[in-house]
Copies of this chain bind each other. A is one copy, B any other.
């Protein structure tokens, strides 16, 4: 039987496998989703399936209310976080959640990752935010839905743009990243892990390492993302 979502499932499947190939997850950890905004559905990894066992046909299609549209498996337990973000952020098309080692370590340390160099500034102009752990009442409630709300609240409080900052750490938990599609979300997850590791080592070498100065932040960010950008094709 054919499905109108075959290519969406394939995109989602490949992004999930990339998560594994990039060393950002082990076992069944983590999940990536891919959005079809026209049809108001997204494809997401099934819950608790090992990457070594995952097949394109296992990918679950869900709508913004978390109703399963297609698929025989239960979707990721984090599905409500994904749907919350898709509903609220109209420009994104993919979301990735990993358990990457250095990203999780910064989240567990409950520290923003300071902007210490141009590798960071190539991707964003501010510290990578670490949202504080959720209030108990929200944890005991609709937890995964509230995780989405927690992300939005952090961005609102800090006056961050989700199109400029495509990643966050949830305190005590781990990273979420997003982008125009699932591939970009995975790309950003790897960028975050690389920056997290570099920042860790930098501060071990020099605990007084200074933040990158404004002129370098601006130069590196603008040459990749500014209106006169000259990076890329």
A interface residue numbers (CB < 8 A to B): 22, 26-29, 46-49, 73-74, 77, 99, 101-102, 104-111, 116-119, 133-134, 136, 139-140, 143, 172-174, 187, 190-191, 194, 197-206, 209-210, 212-213, 215-216, 219, 223-224, 230-233
Contact = CB atoms under 8 A, between A and B. Distances in A.
A109 B233 contact: no
Nearest to A208: B109
A29 B119 contact: yes
A47 B172 contact: no
Contacts of A28: 232
A202 B108 contact: yes
Given A74-B233, A106-B205, 16 more contacts: A26-B190, A47-B232, A49-B233, A73-B233, A99-B119, A104-B198, A105-B198, A108-B117, A109-B205, A110-B206, A110-B210, A117-B172, A117-B174, A134-B216, A172-B212, A200-B204
B77 A231 contact: yes
A28 B74 CA distance: 35
Contact of A194 (B101, B106, B206): B101
A118 B215 contact: no
Query: For A143, A213, A233, which residue has the most chain B Cβ atoms within 10 angstroms?
Result: A233
A110 to B, nearest CB: 7
Contacts of A110: 206, 209-210
A199 B104 CA distance: 9
A194 B139 CA distance: 25
A194 to B, nearest CB: 6
Contacts of A233: 46-49, 73-74
Contacts of A215: 136, 139-140
Contacts of A106: 205
The interface centre, meaning the residue of A102, A116, A199, A201 with most chain B CB atoms within 10 A of its CB, is: A201
A209 B110 CA distance: 7
